[in-house]
């Protein structure tokens, strides 16, 4: 495993075409696209890493996995009255389907659905308490109290969150947002501004791995369902392509991070800030394709020797 990760990090370091860093959140625009990190937390309790695996980055939409787990813990299956479980086939911030589908977002991993999840875990607490609970969940999952929210990144996102405000108002107009729009956007933007290293994120994802030593923060049934949603919706309109290339549940963020779960084996975090046309990490996706091919960890089976990538 260590040799494979080192090789993957070396290949990534040498890559010239690294994708484009997100610029619509000004704090993310200046991040050096030359970075790449990967970490693997295995079911037997080991942690491997290579490259810039100790550099903190903004997890952005990877946070939607933790937010969904928290929201499910709060209201259980009732959340599915307010958000669907189908891929949207559209970009993460699209408003297109909301009008046609009466303010019920397609899934909890596009922005509109994530705003509903945030509204759900915000329902009975103040934004400060709600964010405290979210951080507590992530810290417990990662077994690391050093994980925090980058306030500058949060404020930077809020100052240009025109799309998210419009999504939130749209949801509110259909009565599918209960807290005030400002509070939901404020809480959501802070949630996205959680900062972690690859090593911390790989550790935090262990609650989605089915093995005795993993933190039991959600029920078996919920873990399976969250993994299913990551597979079908975790990469927006690039979800089909990620499943095709990698064959494991994954959730991406515009900070360039991806959390990937091998359901009974490991939690994997990869990070490289340059994005592909879907807004998912370009080198992160390519690295995971190699990783999946070499380990045979696709949930769809092991490739034959010499099979095409
Ligand atoms: N905070 C970002 C946004 O709402 C998250 C998007 C993403 O990571 N895809 O635009």
Q: Specify if 304 maps to a domain.
A: no
Same domain (yes/no): 151, 179: yes
Which atom of ligand 1 sits closest to the CA of residue 254? Answer: 8
pLDDT score recorded for residue 158: 97
- β-bridge partners, 281: 275
- Tens of pLDDT along 49-73? 999 999 999 999 999 999 999 999 9
Say whether both 69 and 178 belong to one domain: yes
Structure tokens at 45: 């309790």
Distance 234 CA to ligand 1 centre (A): 12
Summarised one tens digit per residue, pLDDT across range 103-114 is: 999 999 999 999
Ligand 1 center to residue 235 CA distance, Å? Answer: 12
Return the half-sphere exposure (C-beta side, CA atoms, 13 A cut-off) of residue 70: 30
Angstrom distance (rounded) from CA 204 to CA 199: 9
Are residue 43 and residue 113 in the same domain, yes or no? Answer: no
Q: For residues 130 and 187, is the Cβ–Cβ distance under 8 A?
A: yes
302 pLDDT band (50/70/90 cuts)? confident
pLDDT (tens digit per residue) in 76-119: 999 999 999 999 999 999 999 999 999 999 999 999 999 999 99
Q: Do residues 35 and 157 both lie within one domain? A: no
Q: For residue 309, is it within any domain? A: no
Please indicate, yes or no, if residue 305 is contained in any of the structural domains.
no
- CATH at 250: 3.40.710.10
Q: Ligand 1: distance of its center to the CA of 291 in Å?
A: 26
Please give the Cα distance from 155 to 183 (Å, whole number). Answer: 13
Residue 303 domain-assigned? no
Residue with tokens 């095409």: 308
Q: In a 10 Å sphere around its CB, with 0-12 CB exposed, 13-18 middle and 19+ buried, how is residue 44 labelled?
A: exposed
239 with 158, same domain: the answer is no
Q: Which atom, in ligand 1's list, is nearest to the CA of 24?
A: 10
Query: Atom of ligand 1 at shortest distance to CA of 236?
Result: 9
3-state DSSP helix/strand/coil percent for the chain, to nearest 5? 50, 10, 40
Hey, is 92 helix, strand or coil? coil
Helix (H), strand (E) at residue 42: strand 37-42
Find, among 129, 131, 126, the residue nearest to 63 by Cα.
131
pTM for the full predicted model: 0.97
Q: Which of 111, 186, 256 to mutate to test the pocket of ligand 1 (most atoms within 8 A of CB)?
A: 111
Which pair of tokens denotes residue 204?
């935090």
pLDDT (mean) for 122-131? 94
Alpha carbon of 218 to those of 7, 110, 202, 225: distances in Å? 34, 22, 17, 11
The pLDDT value given to residue 304: 77
Q: pLDDT of 252-271, one tens digit each?
A: 999 999 999 999 999 999 99
Q: Which pLDDT does position 124 carry in this prediction?
A: 84
Q: Which residues line ligand 1 (CB under 6 A)?
A: 60-61, 92-93, 111, 157, 164, 192, 253-254, 279
Q: Which atom of ligand 1 is nearest to the CA of 60?
A: 8
| Residues 109 and 78 occupy one common structural domain | yes
pLDDT in tens, 211-259: 998 999 999 999 999 999 999 999 999 999 999 999 999 999 999 999 9
Q: Determine, yes or no, domain membership for 172.
A: yes
3-state secondary structure of 297: coil
pLDDT at 309 over 70: no
Is 205 in contact with 259 (CB distance < 8 Å)? yes
Region 163-185 average pLDDT: 97
Ligand 1 mean position to 237 CA, how many Å? 14
Kindly report the backbone phi and psi dihedral angles of residue 111, in degrees, each rounded to the nearest multiple of 5, phi listed first.
-55, -45
Q: Total domain count for the chain?
A: 2
With respect to residue 307, please indicate whether it lies within any of the assigned structural domains: no
Name the strand (E) or helix (H) holding 271: strand 266-271
Q: What is the DSSP letter of 20?
A: B
Crossing angle, helix 111-122 and helix 63-75, to 10 degrees? Answer: 50
* Residues 49 and 77 both lie in one domain: no
- Specify the residue with its C-alpha closest to ligand 1, atom 6: 61
Q: Measured in angstroms, how far is the CA atom of residue 253 from the centroid of ligand 1? A: 6
Q: What pLDDT score was predicted for residue 54? A: 98
Taking the centre of ligand 1 as the mean of its atom positions, its distance from the CA of residue 88, in whole angstroms, is 15
Answer whether residue 192 shows pLDDT above 70.
yes
- The predicted model gives 5-15 an average pLDDT of 98
Report the separation in Å between the CA atom of 193 and the middle of ligand 1, taken as the mean of its atom positions. 9
What's the rounded mean pLDDT across residues 5-32?
96
Indicate whether 282 and 239 sit together in one domain: yes
Encoded tokens for 50: 């290579």
Say if residue 184 is in the same domain as residue 278: no
Question: What residues make up the domain containing 20?
Answer: 2-60+196-215+225-295
**Cα–Cα distance between 1 and 141 in angstroms, integer?**
23
Atom of ligand 1 at shortest range from CA of 111: 4
């Amino acid at each position: 495993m260590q040799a494979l990760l080192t090789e993957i990090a070396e290949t990534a370091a040498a890559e010239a075409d690294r994708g484009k860093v997100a610029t619509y959140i000004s704090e993310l625009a200046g991040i050096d696209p030359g970075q790449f990190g990967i970490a693997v937390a295995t079911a037997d309790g080991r942690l491997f890493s290579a490259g810039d695996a100790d550099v903190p980055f903004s997890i952005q939409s990877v946070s939607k996995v933790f937010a969904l787990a928290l929201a499910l813990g709060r209201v259980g299956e009732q959340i599915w009255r307010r958000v669907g479980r189908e891929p949207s086939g559209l970009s993460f911030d699209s408003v297109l389907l909301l009008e046609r589908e009466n303010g019920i977002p397609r899934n909890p991993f596009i922005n509109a659905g994530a705003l509903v999840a945030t509204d759900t875990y915000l329902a009975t607490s103040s934004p400060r308490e709600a964010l405290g609970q979210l951080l507590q969940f992530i810290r417990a999952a990662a077994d690391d109290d050093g994980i925090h929210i980058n306030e500058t990144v949060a404020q930077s996102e809020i100052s240009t969150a025109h799309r998210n405000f419009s999504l939130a108002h749209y949801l509110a107009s259909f009565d599918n947002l209960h807290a005030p729009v400002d509070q939901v956007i404020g809480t959501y933007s802070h949630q996205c501004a959680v900062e972690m290293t690859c090593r911390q994120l790989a550790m935090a994802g262990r609650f989605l791995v089915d093995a005795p030593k993993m933190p039991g923060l959600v029920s078996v049934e919920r873990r399976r369902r969250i993994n299913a949603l990551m597979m079908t919706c975790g990469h927006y309109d690039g979800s089909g392509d990620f499943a095709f290339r990698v064959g494991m549940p994954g959730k991406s963020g515009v900070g360039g991070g991806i959390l990937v779960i091998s359901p009974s084996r490991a939690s994997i975090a990869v990070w490289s800030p340059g994005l592909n046309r879907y807004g998912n990490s370009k080198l992160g996706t390519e690295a995971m394709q190699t990783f999946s091919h070499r380990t045979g960890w696709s949930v769809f089976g092991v490739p034959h020797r010499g099979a095409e990538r």
